[in-house]
Structure 1
């Protein structure tokens, strides 16, 4: 990210959390650089922390993802997600899956959703705050039990023109596939659903195991 001759392609920028005077913005990106006369593609997800003073915000810290080393063996579900042409994974999320630290509940749900929707994933495990932002409660993401979707059928969740029906049908599908905690820009009926300012720009799906 700052290497000479490198170019950064920001895939998305979504809230990891926002309070009145502090925020977390998660930025999945690809990095293109030249090595040995050829273009090399890498990337990460950065948890950018901001603090508010008066009417302006400033960056106070950056925390790049740490997906961990690739596992020697992967489950069939993991291999299918990595090979799917209907699931767009940013580099850190793909590395999360290759590390073997993403639960099969997450992988199976993504595969089932991809039968109906083309989905753009923003964050799975690494690059997300350890705790739910502003609390001491552990997030499901670092434990490999959640994923965030920023794009459905080519439409960004946050875009004003994206169909509400598309987003809500996706949220309900995630719940029907076993997610106990589905967050998004719309409050739906049912104990599993929630909506807040943090989740106006993506759909979160969390799992108990």
Structure 2
């Protein structure tokens, strides 16, 4: 019986070693492909919030780290600079609406330094299906309401949902979600306007303790 136990133990150990080795090989082989697909998806997202015809640099390589309460929390956020012939013309920046109906709403906002929003996308949320999830492009085109919108300063009352006197539609039975998104885009756009003088001193992605 002891011999059988030892034999089974050796078999299991060999099987575990083989499985671990195979997993390592598969990971090594597929890692470049996964990284490539991730980069492609990121580029598509960036081009949705900053039109590619506006810039001619490798925007993904112009990644910097910023931290400001305007972005929804004090955590580090990634910022991507779009340049035209080396001149900064816009940024795409990760931001958060912390006051969604079901928690934080993760977004990316693209805008220039004069208050024009080029685009906004929600990348993660937990809002109610059939109500708050209309902030997703695959559910509704509401998020495109930000495209080309000009924010005229912190006191621009039009940059709000209609229930609050603004011009953005709210959702039937769900005002909290769109209000949170509109307010976050407004705060983020105002912050973007302050960035031109800071770009040269921002830490690059991977060089900070993010």
**How would you bin the TM-score normalised by the shorter chain?**
under 0.3
Structure 1 length as normaliser, TM-score? 0.25
Pick the structure with more helix per residue: 2
Pick the structure with more strand per residue: 1
